[in-house]
C-alpha cells in the first residue's frame, strides 16, 4: 500500500462543485447542513472544514482498492485550537479521540443537488481559508507538506496505536502548514491523523473515524 499524497496549489479560478479541494468551503447535497457540535456549555459550533476528495481523482492510485472510487469524501474536525484559537484546550491531542471530535461524510454519488456551503463572519466575509486545488501522487515533493490519504504511520514514535486501536489505518493525514491566510500548527509542527478500523473502512462506515495528533 502506497500513500496517496495531496499536493496543494492555488487554482486559476473557482473550483467546480464536487471537485477535490483543500480549505475553502464544503459541497453538500441539498438538505444536508454544515456539520456542527455542541460544547459542554451547550454552545453550538461549526467543525473546521479541512478538505473534500472526489474519489474518482484517486481511483488510479488506489491500487489495493481500499477506498471507494466514486463519490465525495469530506473531512471536518475540531482543530480551531491549532488554527490559532486558544480560548479552549485542544479537542484532539496525543491520544485517540472520540468519534465526535471529527466528522467524515461520504456521499456515494455527486450530482447537481450539491452546493457550496459558505460560512461567513460578522462582516459577511467567508471565514475559511481560500480554497486550494489538490493534485494526487504517490511521490512526495522534497520539503513538501506530508498531507496524504492512506498514510504510513511515520510520525508515530511507538510500535502501534494504543489498545483497542492497534490495527487501525490512517485514512487521512494532515500536516502542519501555513500560507498567507492560514497558520496550522499541530503541536510543534506535527500531524493530524484520521484513524479508521479496517472493518469500518471495508464497509464504508466513515462515521466511526477518530483522530490523533502526533508531534514531531
Name the residue range of residue 40's domain. Answer: 4-214
The CATH number for 84's domain is 2.30.320.10
Please report the pLDDT score of residue 145 as a whole number. Answer: 85
pLDDT tens per residue across span 64-78: 999 999 999 999 999
Q: How many domains does the chain have?
A: 1
How far is 216 from 206, CA to CA, in rounded Å? 27
The residue to which cell 492497534 is assigned: 166
The overall average pLDDT reported for the chain is 94
Cα torsion for 9, 32, 57, 147, to the nearest 10°? 50
- What's the rounded Cα separation, in Å, for the pair 216 and 214? 7
Q: Is the peptide bond before 81 cis (omega within 30 degrees of 0)?
A: no
In whole angstroms, what is the distance from residue 72 CA to residue 29 CA? 11
d(C-alpha 76, C-alpha 51), whole Å: 7
Q: What is the DSSP letter of 131?
A: P
Please state the pTM of the whole predicted model: 0.96
Amino acid at each position: 500500500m502506497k500513500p496517496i499524497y495531496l499536493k496543494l496549489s492555488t487554482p486559476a479560478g473557482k473550483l467546480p462543485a464536487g471537485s477535490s479541494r483543500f480549505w475553502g468551503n464544503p459541497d453538500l447535497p441539498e438538505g444536508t447542513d454544515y456539520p456542527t457540535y455542541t460544547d459542554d456549555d451547550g454552545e453550538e459550533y461549526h467543525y473546521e472544514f479541512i478538505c473534500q476528495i472526489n474519489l474518482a481523482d484517486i481511483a488510479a492510485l488506489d491500487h489495493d482498492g481500499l477506498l471507494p472510487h466514486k463519490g465525495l469524501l469530506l473531512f471536518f474536525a475540531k482543530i480551531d485550537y491549532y488554527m490559532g484559537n486558544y480560548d479552549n484546550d485542544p479537542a484532539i491531542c496525543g491520544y485517540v479521540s472520540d468519534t465526535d471530535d471529527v466528522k467524515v461524510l461520504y456521499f456515494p454519488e455527486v450530482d447537481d443537488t450539491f452546493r457550496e456551503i459558505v460560512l461567513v463572519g460578522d462582516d459577511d466575509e467567508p471565514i475559511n481559508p481560500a480554497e486550494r486545488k489538490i493534485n494526487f501522487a504517490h511521490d512526495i515533493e522534497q520539503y513538501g507538506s506530508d498531507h496524504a490519504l492512506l498514510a504510513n504511520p511515520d510520525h508515530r514514535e511507538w510500535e502501534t496505536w494504543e489498545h483497542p486501536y492497534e490495527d487501525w489505518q490512517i485514512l487521512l493525514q494532515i500536516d502542519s502548514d501555513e500560507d498567507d491566510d492560514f497558520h496550522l500548527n499541530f503541536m510543534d509542527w506535527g500531524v493530524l491523523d484520521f484513524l479508521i478500523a479496517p472493518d469500518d473502512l471495508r464497509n464504508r462506515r466513515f462515521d466511526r473515524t477518530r483522530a490523533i495528533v502526533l508531534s514531531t
